[in-house]
C-alpha cells in the first residue's frame, strides 16, 4: 500500500505530478522508497540534495568525516558555518531544510564488512559516492549478495563515470574490474585534484538513475558505462557484459560473503592519511627543521607536480615528480641523507617505498608533507 500525499506535498511535487511517467502514483512510490547514500562528499552532496528535493521518503547517509574548509569547493551540501561539524549532521540539516517531509537517517561510522549488511538491510537501493577502492568493492559485493541496485559514480580531475550495477539484470562492478589496481597507481582526488563542478554533474546523473530505477521508467544505465569529460563536454557510452567468470555474480561465485576489502585492495578504505609510513621511516617537520638549523646536510626531494611549486615550496628542494622517480633514480645519491615530501605525505610514502626497493637506506618521509611544514615551521607557506 503506497502512502498518500498531503496537500502540501502535492503542491511541493506538482511539477513531478504533471509528468505522465511520474504522476501521483509515481510520487507516492518515491515517498515509499528508501535509498542509502555512501559518502556525503563531492558525489554525495548533489545526490542527497536532489533525492531529498525529489521526495524520496527515507534517505540514509553513511560518513564519518567532518566538514573541512577544503571541502567547500565541491561539497555543496555543506557550508562555511558547518566547518568542523560531522558531515552526516551537516548534510541532514540541509536536506531537512530543503524538504522537512522526508526521513534522514545518519550513520557516523566507516562503512565496513562488519556493519554494511546491517546498515543497508532496510534500503531499496544503494548509491556509491565513495572515493576509495575498498569501499567501492564492498558496496558492489553487498549489492550483489542482497540483490540491490548499485548506482555507481566516480570522479577525477575533469573525468567522471556513471553506471547502474544490478547483478539480477546485468553486470556488476567486478565484471568490469575483477581486480583492484595496484596500490598507488590511481591517485585520489585529494592528491590529483578535481574540478569543483564535476561531482555536481556526476552526482546529479546518479540521482537521476536512482529515481528512474525506483520508478521503473526509462532505460537505466544497466549494462552501460557513461564516460564524461568536462574539458571537451563529451559523453560516451561503453557497453558492458556480464562476466561468466565473475567471482561474485557469476554462476560459480567464490565470494559468498563480505571479505576484508582493505586487504583485497592493499589500501585503506578512507583518505584520512596521516602522511606517516611508520617503521621508523618518518621525520616530523619540527625534526627536519632542527636538523637543517644545525647545518646537517639533508637532501630534500619534492615528489609533487611542477605546478604545485606555485602554491608552496621548501627552498633548496629537488623536484622529481613521483611518476618520473623510477626513471630518474640515477640522479640521486644513495649515500646522502634524504627527506622525501609531497603535499600531505601520501605520494612521498610511495616514493619512499620505491627508494627502499632500489637500495636507498638513508631516507625519511616528511610526515604530513609540506602542509605539516607550513603549519609547524613556516606559516608563510599556504596550506592546500
Counting Cβ atoms within 10 Å, is residue 179 exposed (0-12), middle (13-18) or buried (19+)? exposed
Contacts of 46 (CB under 8 A, 6+ apart): 76, 77, 199, 200, 203, 204, 207
Q: 3-class SS at 304? A: coil
How far are the Cα atoms of 212, 267, 288 from residue 149, in angstroms, in the given order? 12, 26, 50
Give, for 365, the enclosing helix (H) or strand (E): strand 363-366
Whether 230 and 201 have beta carbons less than 8 Å apart is answered as yes
Expressed in percent and rounded to 5, the helix, strand and coil fractions of the chain are 40, 15, 45
Count of helices and strands (H, E) across the chain = 15, 13
Would residue 342 show up in a list of annotated catalytic residues for this protein? yes
Would residue 189 show up in a list of annotated catalytic residues for this protein? yes
User: What is the chain's length?
Assistant: 384
Whether 110 and 248 have beta carbons less than 8 Å apart is answered as no
| 345-357 core/surface letters (b: 16 or more CB in 10 A; e: else) | bbbbbbbbebbee
Question: Among residues 189, 246, 249, 265, which one is catalytic?
Answer: 189
Of the candidates 45, 54, 46, 24, the residue with the CA atom closest to the CA atom of residue 213: 54
Distance of CA 15 to the CA centre of its chain: 33
Joined together, the cell numbers standing for residue 202 give: 556526476
- Residues with catalytic annotation? 189, 342
Amino acid at each position: 500500500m503506497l502512502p498518500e500525499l498531503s496537500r502540501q506535498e502535492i503542491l511541493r511535487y506538482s511539477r513531478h505530478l504533471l509528468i505522465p511517467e511520474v504522476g501521483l502514483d509515481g510520487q507516492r512510490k518515491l515517498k515509499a522508497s528508501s535509498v542509502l547514500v555512501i559518502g556525503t562528499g563531492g558525489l554525495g552532496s548533489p545526490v542527497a540534495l536532489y533525492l531529498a528535493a525529489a521526495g524520496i521518503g527515507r534517505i540514509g547517509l553513511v560518513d564519518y568525516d567532518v566538514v573541512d574548509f577544503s571541502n567547500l569547493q565541491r561539497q555543496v551540501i555543506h557550508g562555511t558555518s558547518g566547518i568542523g561539524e560531522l558531515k552526516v549532521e551537516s548534510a541532514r540539516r540541509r536536506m531537512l531544510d530543503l524538504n522537512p517531509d522526508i526521513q534522514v537517517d545518519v550513520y557516523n561510522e566507516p562503512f565496513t564488512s562488519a556493519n554494511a549488511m546491517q546498515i543497508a538491510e532496510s534500503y531499496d537501493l544503494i548509491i556509491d559516492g565513495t572515493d576509495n577502492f575498498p569501499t567501492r568493492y564492498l558496496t558492489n559485493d553487498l549489492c550483489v549478495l542482497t540483490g540491490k541496485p548499485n548506482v555507481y559514480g566516480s570522479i577525477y580531475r575533469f573525468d567522471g563515470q556513471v553506471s547502474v550495477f544490478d547483478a539480477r539484470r546485468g553486470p556488476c562492478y567486478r565484471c568490469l574490474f575483477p581486480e583492484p589496481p595496484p596500490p598507488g597507481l590511481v591517485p585520489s582526488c585529494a592528491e590529483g585534484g578535481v574540478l569543483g563542478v564535476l561531482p555536481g554533474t556526476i552526482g546529479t546523473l546518479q540521482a537521476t538513475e536512482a529515481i528512474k530505477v525506483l520508478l521503473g521508467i526509462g532505460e537505466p544505465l544497466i549494462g552501460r558505462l557513461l564516460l564524461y569529460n568536462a574539458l571537451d563536454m563529451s559523453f560516451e557510452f561503453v557497453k558492458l557484459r556480464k562476466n561468466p567468470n565473475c567471482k561474485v555474480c557469476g554462476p560459480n561465485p567464490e565470494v559468498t560473503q563480505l571479505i576484508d576489502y582493505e586487504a583485497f585492495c592493499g589500501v585503506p578504505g578512507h583518505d584520512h592519511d596521516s602522511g606517516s609510513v611508520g617503521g621508523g621511516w618518518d621525520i616530523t617537520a619540527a625534526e627536519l627543521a632542527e636538523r637543517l638549523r644545525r647545518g646537517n646536510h639533508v637532501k630534500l626531494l619534492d615528489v609533487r607536480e611542477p605546478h604545485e611549486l606555485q602554491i608552496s615550496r621548501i627552498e633548496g628542494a629537488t623536484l622529481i615528480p613521483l611518476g618520473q622517480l623510477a626513471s630518474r633514480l640515477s640522479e640521486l645519491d644513495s649515500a646522502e641523507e634524504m627527506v622525501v615530501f609531497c603535499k600531505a605525505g601520501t605520494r612521498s610514502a610511495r616514493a619512499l617505498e620505491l627508494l627502499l626497493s632500489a637500495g636507498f637506506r638513508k631516507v625519511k618521509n616528511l610526515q604530513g608533507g609540506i602542509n605539516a611544514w607550513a603549519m609547524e615551521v613556516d606559516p608563510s607557506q599556504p596550506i592546500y
